[in-house]
Amino acid sequence: MRDKIVVIGSLNYDIILKSSRLPECGETMPVDNAAFSAGGKGANQAVQAAKLGVPTYMVGCVGEDAQGAYLVQTAKAYGVNTDHIRTIPGVPSGMGVISALEDGSVFASIVRGANYAVTRENIDAVEPLLQQAAIVILQMEIPMEINTYAIQKAKACGCKVLLNAAPAMEIPNRYLQMCDIIVVNEVEAAFYLNTELGTVDQAREGAARMARDYSADIIVTLGKEGAVVSDQGSVTFIPAREVEAIETTGAGDSFIGGVGYALMQNMTLTEACQFAADCSAITVCRLGAQDSMPALKEVQNSI
């Protein structure tokens, strides 16, 4: 029985700076507060799926440092199976430095670190797990050659592949065409389409075009506006719930984890996106990424 989600991707130790604005060039600016959190797109997405109750397995690498131990310990505490996270000596764990402004906007830089130590051998080692998985979730925070290899391996094992093409970077079209679902935000969609997506209508057109180009289902997330989904060629706008956002770190990852869970419950992709929007609406009302992600009962009670 295929009852598992496998996430292949990044784990980052996040430093979140809460401030009123970004510093000017050359300016040393005190910030209001700092928080430390487990993050990385891969780990975040795995944690959200696990918090919702899906058997979720994380495949990735951390450094042989205190941050790496914390990342593994935190993921495990949230219910993620961490047996396939490798510890790499002599390489620091991945790190994110995030400025979270008062209006909820986020500016982030990441250090790749051990995330770029994932190898083909790591992917080969989890082939028995892929044979049992329904969905494999990937992002762009590990080496591209490993992502493309993982896409091929997952498809060969009969998995549905969800690629969060973030951060946006060049990837041969043939690999995008092997994916079942591609998730991008408006900035990333603009990169792949080579055109701006400033409105919901433009996002609808962009999602339809990407669906044609890649023969895949497409989700374009639009932050506080919501999301556009092309599900089997039918394009739908799903508005975000109106909430008082504290900060948006991890909101997109919460959305993707929610989509993964919902698909495992045999929802359509459009229904899955509606459920995922409820997940991310809760996430943005709290500080941090994984800490802020809701359990299933919280989502059900909020609907």
Enumerate the active-site residues. 253
> What are the φ/ψ torsions at residue 56 (nearest 5 degrees)?
-125, 135
Residue 118 and residue 25: Cα distance in Å, rounded?
A: 35
DSSP code of residue 119: -
Q: Which residue has the tokens 């131990």?
A: 69
* Residue found under tokens 């490993």: 146
Dihedral sign for Cα atoms in the order 179, 181, 184, 186: positive
Question: String of b and e for 160-190 (b: at least 16 CB within 10 Å)?
Answer: bbbbbbbeeeebeeebbebbbbbbbbbebbb
CB 67 within 8 A of CB 13: yes
d(CA 107, CA 115): 20
Helix (H, G, I), strand (E, B) or coil at 18: strand
Beta carbons within 8 Å of 21's beta carbon, 6+ residues apart: 29, 101
Distance of alpha carbon 135 from alpha carbon 84, whole angstroms: 16
Pairing of strands 56-63, 81-88: parallel
List of E strands, 89-189 = 94-101, 106-111, 133-138, 160-164, 181-185
Phi/psi region, residue 18 (left: phi>0; alpha: psi -120 to 50; beta: rest), is beta
